[in-house]
Amino acid sequence: MKKVKSISSIIILLCAGIFTKQSSAQSVADIFLGETEITWLGVDYSGMKFIGPLDVSATQLDDYAKTWNDLYLREPKKYNLTAAFNKQNIPSNLSYIEKVNADMNTDKVISSDSKDMTRFTKETIAETVKNYKIKGSGIGLVFITEALSKNDEMGSYWVTFIDMKTSTVLLTERVTGKAAGFGFRNYWAGSFYATLKDIKGKLYNSWKKKYSK
């Protein structure tokens, strides 16, 4: 009887160890470990507001959402995710974000209210992530665009890490970036570029200190 109990105990401990290892891969602290794989999901523009005069037709914005996401992948040395998030490699899967961006309601994008620049909350982000309906596992990274403000020459994004298996938010932080560049595409891509510079320069380390406890 003791032998049976001992074997059962070993099995329970082994299962607990496996479960702990799997769970730890989805923890906030593990985001900041170099060996933890992060999947780039893209930049979600579907719920953004564009504040101020728009230089293109509003109906073109869903096309620009795809153009921007393609640009970030085509020019990895400039839009350097691995450097910003201290990873050797960040694989990508844009399929979920491409779908929500394609469904953008462009009739409701334009705004004249400066308060729309700061209208999102962590609860907003959690609801947005649930709509992705991700089928997979591991940790995903998405930038959720709150607003692009021509008046302020600034883009506002929520940098969000997701447990893809449960579609829950592990970490989300609001970051703004100064827009810069020639032409509509490059100008607003410049705001994304500026956020990456800030993350690499100081924000990543401050988040690591805050969440790696």
Render pLDDT for 35-67 as a digit per residue (tens, 0 to 9): 899 999 999 999 999 999 999 999 999 999 999
| Residue 15 reports pLDDT greater than 60 | no
Instruction: Count the neighbouring beta carbons within 10 Å of the beta carbon of residue 121.
Output: 12
* pLDDT band, very low/low/confident/very high, at 9 (cuts 50, 70, 90): very low
pLDDT at residue 3 greater than cutoff 70: no
Q: ∠30-168-97 over CA atoms, to 5°? A: 100
What letter represents residue 57's amino acid?
A: S
- Do residues 61 and 106 lie in contact, with contact meaning Cβ atoms separated by under 8 Å? yes
Q: What is the pTM of this model?
A: 0.88
**Residues sharing a CB contact under 8 Å with residue 139, sequence separation 6 or more, in sequence order:** 25, 26, 30, 31, 36, 37, 38, 39, 161, 162, 163, 164, 170
Please state, in angstroms and rounded to a whole number, the distance separating the CA atoms of residues 32 and 208. 6
Return the percentage of the chain with pLDDT > 70, whole number: 88
Report the pLDDT value the prediction gives residue 212, as an integer from 0 to 100: 83
User: What pLDDT is stored for residue 115 in this prediction?
Assistant: 96
pLDDT at 6: 47
**CA distance to 1, 49, 53, 91, 118, per residue, from 88 (Å):** 51, 34, 40, 10, 33
* pLDDT classification of 34: cutoffs 50, 70, 90: confident
Cα–Cα dist 98/130, whole Å: 15
Give pLDDT tens digits for 181-196.
Answer: 999 999 999 999 999 9
Crossing angle of the two packed helices 61-74 and 184-198, in degrees rounded to 10:
50
